[in-house]
Structure 1
């Protein structure tokens, strides 16, 4: 229905109704007219800027709202998007919601064009409800637009969090969590319990980050067997809820005037998760800031101390209290998903195929021996173990799409017109399973990554995504490698694994890419008894 027809109908309707109804009808008419004008302006702008190049192929779009109905109806959205692209046999597409063009990409060559050749054009991030929540109004790094604040925070993180000197300073905290991992799993064996490897991988990853940031593994008392207490479980669950819905095609991210209506239920979940994260982290931060300001604390022990004591050239605090709170929350959310998901999937594939597990154990026995536990210093020589993790990153990414990159100007990609403000979303799922790039792409095959040199979890050619690349890529690839390989290597080195009676479920969950059923298995020690830690 166009604006003229809508106005005629509403005028007829208002002649036989109350004054209040007439006002509502007139307001609706004005809204329809305004939106229609905006749609005409959008089309005119496209004709002017596109230079007759087409947009990438996409589904049929409704007037004004584009693919909004499908976004609300076809859940999970990422499976609908990938299904459509497979049906259309295209590696780049265009879905429009309101005035926003969403450009999913499945091809490494096109991904390199966006992340490398046109890195400056796609250098910023879109404003979304979730990123506004976690960043405190864009005071942080990973999820914020490209601006001076981003430059300030990124420079600080590179020098103060992930530099070689800082990672060396924090080594013992990571090592302590590797020992606690073995302690906990060994206790499950002694109690004749199966091991929930989703719980193990997620809590190890979060424990490492908590220890580096806050100097503690537990927000509460923890458990005597080294496992998480109720506080840590609530915190980790909230982190993964937030990660799941941060960029999950929330309707109000594309139509901001709908914020608050929560048409797809995502806003409530994101706000809840964010509140839980802050419930546990902010009191520690606030108390530590108070201790430094009062002179009660003088010694730096963790990243929180580093953030509080940083000074600018004039001697004033480099970070505000809010910047500290929000940056640590963002870092926590950005650090824990990749290692835990990759190792849960790698363990599932290796337990399901014992020959792969045997090869990994033989490599660790050859490089490390059986009279000590594997350490970070061994990682360089554990190429098969790294290949197992690398293959999990390829075949089983944590999220279907990488964090969106938004174009700051009109541009051309793969011969298609990409309007300013488009959200380019490179598919982790599609890259790693692209049959033009990978032979037998659905097979878990670590051997495909073995070569004559050192195996790395990084993938600079974007045949899959582990830690991304470019100016908006992950700056913590080394830390992510340490966390991933130490987690996988300790589980493989210290224990033999038996699947549960019903076997290993290698199916994906319906609405995300994690295993449909959390991986459980029985662990049996394979090293001398004295090598297993006796306390957390």
Structure 2
């Protein structure tokens, strides 16, 4: 967050909003709210967030406890920072906290009214979840797509091998992002959006990155909802441009698909997810309209491509910093598939150390460190305090993952901790490790992410050694975090592959 620009804009509007904001401060119920730091007039605790809110909030929670209240502008925000309290919020009182706080940027083309991510729990939300569960993330659907994922991983492997032969460095996060993007686009549309190591088809990548940046950027309209119609930083305007361009592309793809279906007269034969969605649309447009389809496509792309690639980049960063653990993963894979074999999805269950590496990566580097914000539907008592109706609720899974009361050597990358505690999983039941959330709002794409993260890490490790750039030492590998919609590496992880 650029504090200078932030404050400049903030105080330029302070005179117009101060009277309104201060007049609405009467209902704070301070005696019943969870404890928290002093709240400055008008701005509350905004300045205490800093550029890495997940870390700043975790530090404050050490003083004020696992259930803490903040005031972010005019928004009452409750922060959850322990597994026990997260379980109370996301399981015991799941329905009370099942709604979302919708960021201003998500209002582009009324996205918040159609998006599975932002919709309140209701018939429309259940319908979209069911479509995703049955048409994309069911076991049968995922099993039927194994050949497709295998093809994308072979292209990733070929690209890394080509870099070996030409002596080129690999940007691991970029390669993982392109692979994820192509996997999703081929699953949805039977076409690739980008090429590894090339600037071709860059438009789609740039558009999705643009949407993610708008959603992640600190926005005055989120801290002071009265400013949403003003859009003082132009974030909603910019995101609307991205959405319009994406929707134009989606309209072209849908029109081509419909034309092809009419010409082949095989409308009942499902080739990809878009076929399945169009079948639902043509049976009953009130169940799934064309506009529903386009908003759903945005959700699927933004969620799948960025989260998977970030996790893979963090996993490879930690393995490069820990050569012994890298060697152990490589040996384990070779013991199962051989030096020249290809890893299959059925092999994942036979690779306990690879699974432990992925779990440890999720613990230290959760893809969405504060999860997607929840909202209280009613006054709810948690730990003896009242979480007031309409409060924003943030679950700091980054803090839970580094809680010294839960994890020994909490700041150290130690995958072997999960070999002795293999029962701990990240599917929403073990609240010390919930990178995908828990309860009814758990990420529906978890089953696909599970397969892709393991397979991509294995692809990078199995047949290749890695050498750092410019003689860089292991301890010089940068692990600085960049907070946004997802937790990214501030400096991309680049290394030279060596074919083994």
Q: What TM-score comes out, normalization by structure 1 length?
A: 0.82
Asked if the contact 2:221/2:228 (under 8 Å) is kept, the reply is yes
**How many residues are treated as equivalent by the alignment?**
480
Distance 1:175 1:228 in 2: 21
* C-alpha distance 355-320 of structure 1, shift in aligned 2 (>3 A): same
Asked if the contact 1:125/1:146 (under 8 Å) is kept, the reply is no
Q: Which residue of 1 is the match for residue 364 of structure 2?
A: 395
Q: Which residue of 2 is the match for residue 6 of structure 1?
A: none
1:95-174 matches, within 5 Å, as: 95-133=70-108, 136-174=111-149
Counterpart pick for 2:497 among 505, 517, 523: 523
Q: Which residue of 1 is the match for residue 376 of structure 2?
A: 407
- CA-CA distance at 1:328 after TM superposition: 0.8
Q: Which residue of 2 is the match for residue 514 of structure 1?
A: 488
Distance 1:467 1:349 in 2: 20
Does residue 185 of structure 1 match 2:185? no
Counterpart pick for 1:81 among 49, 57, 69: 57
Cα-to-partner distance string for 1:414-450 (whole Å, 9 max, x where unaligned): 2211100111110121111111111111101100111
Distance 2:265 2:146 in 1: 26
- CA-CA distance at 1:268 after TM superposition: 5.3
Q: Which residue of 2 is the match for residue 3 of structure 1?
A: none
Cα-to-partner distance string for 1:23-45 (whole Å, 9 max, x where unaligned): xxxxx89x7665554333x35xx
* C-alpha distance 285-79 of structure 1, shift in aligned 2 (>3 A): farther
Asked if the contact 1:174/1:208 (under 8 Å) is kept, the reply is yes
More deviation, 448-457/180-189: 448-457
- CA-CA distance at 1:342 after TM superposition: 1.5
* C-alpha distance 240-503 of structure 1, shift in aligned 2 (>3 A): farther
Distance 1:382 1:497 in 2: 21
Does residue 419 of structure 1 match 2:394? no
Does residue 176 of structure 1 match 2:145? no
Asked if the contact 2:89/2:97 (under 8 Å) is kept, the reply is yes
Distance 1:281 1:297 in 2: 21
Does residue 67 of structure 1 match 2:37? no
1:267-306 matches, within 5 Å, as: 267=236, 270-271=239-240, 273-275=242-244, 277-278=246-247, 280-292=249-261, 298=267, 299-306=269-276
Q: Which residue of 2 is the match for residue 23 of structure 1?
A: none
Asked if the contact 1:291/1:297 (under 8 Å) is kept, the reply is no
Asked if the contact 2:426/2:433 (under 8 Å) is kept, the reply is no
Give unmatched runs, 5+ long, in structure 1. Answer: 1-27, 48-52, 527-536
- CA-CA distance at 1:511 after TM superposition: 4.5
- CA-CA distance at 1:270 after TM superposition: 3.8
Instruction: Please give the secondary structure, in 2, of the residue aligned with 1:93.
Output: strand
- CA-CA distance at 1:362 after TM superposition: 0.9
- CA-CA distance at 1:162 after TM superposition: 0.9
More deviation, 392-401/508-517: 508-517
- CA-CA distance at 1:199 after TM superposition: 1.0
Asked if the contact 1:194/1:521 (under 8 Å) is kept, the reply is yes
* C-alpha distance 455-188 of structure 1, shift in aligned 2 (>3 A): farther
Counterpart pick for 1:386 among 350, 355, 375: 355
1:119-518 matches, within 5 Å, as: 119-133=94-108, 136-218=111-193, 222=195, 226-231=196-201, 233-246=202-215, 249-259=218-228, 261-263=230-232, 266-267=235-236, 270-271=239-240, 273-275=242-244, 277-278=246-247, 280-292=249-261, 298=267, 299-310=269-280, 318-451=287-420, 456-458=425-427, 460-500=429-469, 501-503=471-473, 505-509=477-481, 511=483, 513-518=487-492
Distance 2:364 2:20 in 1: 46
* C-alpha distance 510-484 of structure 1, shift in aligned 2 (>3 A): closer
Instruction: Please give the secondary structure, in 2, of the residue aligned with 1:211.
Output: helix
- CA-CA distance at 1:110 after TM superposition: 0.4
Distance 1:499 1:254 in 2: 42
Cα-to-partner distance string for 1:262-303 (whole Å, 9 max, x where unaligned): 445644554455455445444223432454467666442111
Distance 1:83 1:89 in 2: 9
